[in-house]
Amino acid sequence: GENVEQHPSTLSVQEGDSAVIKCTYSDSASNYFPWYKQELGKRPQLIIDIRSNVGEKKDQRIAVTLNKTAKHFSLHITETQPEDSAVYFCAASIKGGYSTLTFGKGTMLLVSP
Amino acid sequence: GAGVSQSPRYKVAKRGQDVALRCDPISGHVSLFWYQQALGQGPEFLTYFQNEAQLDKSGLPSDRFFAERPEGSVSTLKIQRTQQEDSAVYLCASSPSGRGDYGYTFGSGTRLTVV
């Protein structure tokens, strides 16, 4: 089955800096890669996603890049703010018409004022 | 409703007790997923419904776990004879599409603690 590795497990940055979180996946048939933000005790919320026919996608301060050849994708957050502090999960869809998601173990991002 | 609703939000069960966790998906959503999230980990897939049909239950950890969605809307995850290792947050998610490449909306989860 699919395996998703996520790094780093924790990331501390100063407000205004950029943050990058990286994920690799194992199943070359995976074709959908969402990122979720989870604040303490709350539900995971989709923040951005990318499909395999696109190499990069941007939404304001958030961007995701995908390298299908290398089987890795990354989340980039620019001009970080304290409210960006949360756990971020990457995921990949496994092969199948409905495609359940396989998640990484998460990255705790701490943005210091 | 406006979002995915799960109940109860918290459940404490004595080891050996049976529990039932409820999920109300967004109205009209075709797909419904159950995930288990252990402390400090990412969600792990348990089972998937497309309308009332359970198309995948490969993630259910043992035959003590059972899920149903009899009318294609509300779903219940039942755990029989709970064990300490069942302690986790159980997340339900729904999606309007029967395809996988569409963002889920998660519920807030049920935190199960088995003592």
Percent of chain A residues topping a pLDDT of 70? 95
Q: For residue B81, give how far its alpha carbon lies from the nearest alpha carbon of chain A (Å).
A: 26
- pLDDT value, residue A96: 52
Cβ count near A42 (within 10 Å): 13
Give the torsion sign (CA, A67, B93, B112, B64). Answer: negative
A44 with B105: Cβ contact below 8 A: no
Alpha-carbon dihedral A7, A12, A16, A17, rounded to 10 degrees: -50
Evaluate if residue A113 carries a pLDDT over 90: yes
Select from B96, B112, B115 the least CA-distant residue to B46: B112
Residue B99 pLDDT > 70: no
Contacts of B34 in chain A (CB under 8 A): none
Alpha-carbon gap, residue A2 to A62, rounded angstroms = 25
Q: What backbone phi and psi angles, to 5 degrees, belong to A36?
A: -120, 145
Mutate to test the interface with A, among B48, B90, B101 (most CBs of A within 10 A): B101
Task: Read off the pLDDT of residues B76-98 as tens digits, 9 standing for 90 and up.
Answer: 999 999 999 999 999 999 988 77
Is the pLDDT score of B45 beyond 70? yes
User: How high is the pLDDT of residue A72?
Assistant: 95
Q: Is A83 helix (H, G, I), strand (E, B) or coil?
A: helix
Instruction: Indicate the residue of A44, A46, A99 with minimum beta-carbon distance to B101.
Output: A99
The SS3 call for residue B46 is: strand
Which residues in chain B are contacts of A98 at CB distance < 8 A?
31, 48, 50, 55-56, 98-100
The alpha-carbon gap from B74 to the nearest alpha carbon of chain A, in Å, equals: 19
